[in-house]
Structure 1
Amino acid sequence: MIISLNGFVLNDPNSVNAAYLDEPIEGLGLPPIRTSSGNYSGRDGGYVGSQFYGMRLITLTGQFFGTPATLETTRRNLAAAVATSSVAMNITTNAGNQYLVNCNIDSLDMPILRSINQAPFKISLIATDPTIYDNSASGLMSVTVNPARGGGITWPITWPITWAAGSQPTTVNNTGNVTIYPTITLINKMTNPSITNQTTGQFFTLTGLTTTAGDTLVIDMKNRTVLLNGGSVLPFVTSSSSWWPLLPGNNSINLTTADGTDTTVATVSWRSGYRGI
């Protein structure tokens, strides 16, 4: 397994770092589970409430090898790579699969030993988002959703008669085994757009919002932001709206607007994810 931390490569014999990992690599299985539980009063047994995944703690231990000069340089380079507000942990498994974990540094220990050609290290990382994302080219998914409208003719009738084709909700397939919150981008003219995940029954609606050709509306379901051309339009979000996710498997996504002349289309983007490797 090859791991890189903000570009600093570990466990790769072709890397100039000569930094190799020891066993075990901890924290890449199922993340900690937060459980609300208690005992029944006056009778046997107890209850378990809702369960949620907690933050993921990842521990990497290993050794640097090289001359005294290269060891010192490598140690400095590793410290500089992880001493940031966020750490992108890229993983390539022995099977050739690629994953991404978004982390923060918890600690980095690099004790100095008597040996002049070897030095140990231990890195602890915290992943506030416990999802391990598919970092392959096929893991980044994007599906276009057109407004769902009924077919037929427009009244009053104008000649020549145009019989418009109807459109149905779009099927979006989340190929991972984790519920994922997507980013939805809508462009061009729209009036009171509403986008619904019919599989979960949740919808996201903006009332009183009207845009024109060339405008871009970005709904980030994970970070709970709505930006029109870069500026927040959260006040237009209805109180009954939900920041909805994509369930594993097929999801039926429906886009509607209030004006039949609207030209908007939506792009639903996400990266598939897993609970463990």
Structure 2
Amino acid sequence: MSAGDLITADGQLEWRGTLLGSGSPFRMTKLDGWLDLPEMRADNPDRPGRHGGFQGNQLAGQRTVTLSYLVKGVPAADFGAVVTTLRKITAPSERPLEEPLVVRLDGESWLANARCVRRTINVEKYYALGYTTGAIQWQATDPRLYSVAEQRDVTALPSPPADGLPYPLTFPLVFGTGKQGGRLRAVNAGGAASWPVWEVRGPVTGPVIANRDTGERLVFDGTFTIQRGQTLTIDTDTRTVLLNGVNQSDKLLTRGWFPIPANGAVQVDFTAASYDPNASLTGRWRHAII
């Protein structure tokens, strides 16, 4: 089951395979931080001896999402199990990794990668009667919200050009077809830039991933070889380069990282030091908003 599969209506959330909000025992009374702009951090140096400052970078900080909930109307025999479920899905592990939190509002589901950082279950006068309130809070180090469906495109290396004119010449002349393939297009329909993951599958030596529109390139050592059956994964957001899970960042010589712009697209060229028809480049990304 994929993240968000349990959601069928607005006002629902899914976390760790459990439905929250509308249609669940955990009725949403308030949701903070989901549609809000995260706290912004600015780098605006002061103007010496003058009012104001110079315009610097302005970047979004982490996103904090808080669900306030109400549990009532649950049969007394089931209330304890409902509370146990809530405690189970919000329990931290020793080294918790971010997991998908999916929310549907206004007919659209979006996803944030987050960790649960707070849980309250109020034990008050009517708790014994199957009534409680509380809150769950998540923190996402990446403030962007992503489409639930992952987008992808794939291309092989450009094929060598076909031979040119055959001799002796005969009319009409038939010219070679030129290079074929080696290009993919990634479209981001969201209002924030999205950083893709590139997967290079061997056999290939000295791969190059280039933004055809801007000229930015990711260039690997010309002798660096990815064998048949191996996959090199380049996460442009975290800036990691892994070959079958092993760090190969030192093989990346030119680091022209580039995102897919907001409400835009990029055309990407895939080339290498040598040609093999079995080599391929796959791009994976999600539409992003903030």
Q: Are the equivalent residues in 2 in contact too, given 1:71–1:119 (CA < 8 A)?
A: no
Please tell me whether residue 54 in structure 1 is matched to residue 61 in structure 2. yes
Aligned partners of 2:225, 2:164: CA distance in 1, in Å?
23
Q: Which residue of 1 aligns with 2:176?
A: 163
Q: Which residue of 1 aligns with 2:193?
A: 179
Aligned partners of 1:217, 1:235: CA distance in 2, in Å?
13
Q: Which residue of 2 aligns with 1:70?
A: 78
Q: Secondary structure at the match of 2:179?
A: coil
Q: Structure 1's 197 and 110: CA in aligned 2 closer, same or farther, altered over 3 A?
A: same
Cα offset, 1:113, TM superposition = 1.2
Aligned partners of 2:164, 2:198: CA distance in 1, in Å?
30
Aligned partners of 2:136, 2:125: CA distance in 1, in Å?
21
Which string of whole-angstrom CA distances, capped at 9 and with x for unpartnered residues, describes residues 1-37 of structure 1? 1112212222232x4xx210113x1101222211122
Please tell me whether residue 45 in structure 1 is matched to residue 45 in structure 2. no
Q: Are the equivalent residues in 2 in contact too, given 1:170–1:253 (CA < 8 A)?
A: yes
Aligned partners of 1:258, 1:192: CA distance in 2, in Å?
5
Q: Which residue of 1 aligns with 2:150?
A: 140
Percent identity of equivalent pairs: 22
Report the residue type matching 1:165 in the other structure: G
Q: Structure 1's 9 and 46: CA in aligned 2 closer, same or farther, altered over 3 A?
A: same
Q: Within 5 Å, give how 1:12-161 maps onto structure 2.
A: 12-13=22-23, 15=24, 18-23=25-30, 25-29=31-35, 30-65=37-72, 66-84=74-92, 85=96, 86-95=98-107, 97-115=108-126, 116-135=129-148, 139-148=149-158, 151-153=161-163
Aligned partners of 1:146, 1:109: CA distance in 2, in Å?
52
Aligned partners of 2:100, 2:185: CA distance in 1, in Å?
31
Report the residue type matching 2:269 in the other structure: N
Report the residue type matching 2:225 in the other structure: T
Q: Secondary structure at the match of 1:199?
A: coil
Q: Secondary structure at the match of 2:58?
A: strand
Per the normalisation by structure 1, the TM-score is 0.84
Report the residue type matching 1:163 in the other structure: G
Aligned partners of 1:2, 1:121: CA distance in 2, in Å?
17
Q: Are the equivalent residues in 2 in contact too, given 1:178–1:247 (CA < 8 A)?
A: yes
Please tell me whether residue 229 in structure 1 is matched to residue 229 in structure 2. no
Report the residue type matching 2:157 in the other structure: P
Aligned partners of 1:7, 1:206: CA distance in 2, in Å?
40
Q: Which residue of 2 aligns with 1:270?
A: 285
- Specify which of 259, 263, 276 is matched with residue 245 of structure 1: 259
Q: Which residue of 1 aligns with 2:170?
A: none
Structure 1 gap segments, 5+ residues each = none
* C-alpha RMSD over aligned residues: 2.5
Cα offset, 1:152, TM superposition = 4.9
Aligned partners of 2:117, 2:68: CA distance in 1, in Å?
14
Structure 2 gap segments, 5+ residues each = 1-10, 168-173
Q: Secondary structure at the match of 2:80?
A: helix
Aligned partners of 2:132, 2:91: CA distance in 1, in Å?
19
Cα offset, 1:87, TM superposition = 4.2
Aligned partners of 1:105, 1:149: CA distance in 2, in Å?
49
- Specify which of 234, 241, 264 is matched with residue 219 of structure 1: 234
Aligned partners of 1:60, 1:186: CA distance in 2, in Å?
40
Aligned partners of 2:186, 2:122: CA distance in 1, in Å?
50
Which string of whole-angstrom CA distances, capped at 9 and with x for unpartnered residues, describes residues 234-258 of structure 1? 22111x3233322231202011111
Q: Secondary structure at the match of 1:266?
A: strand
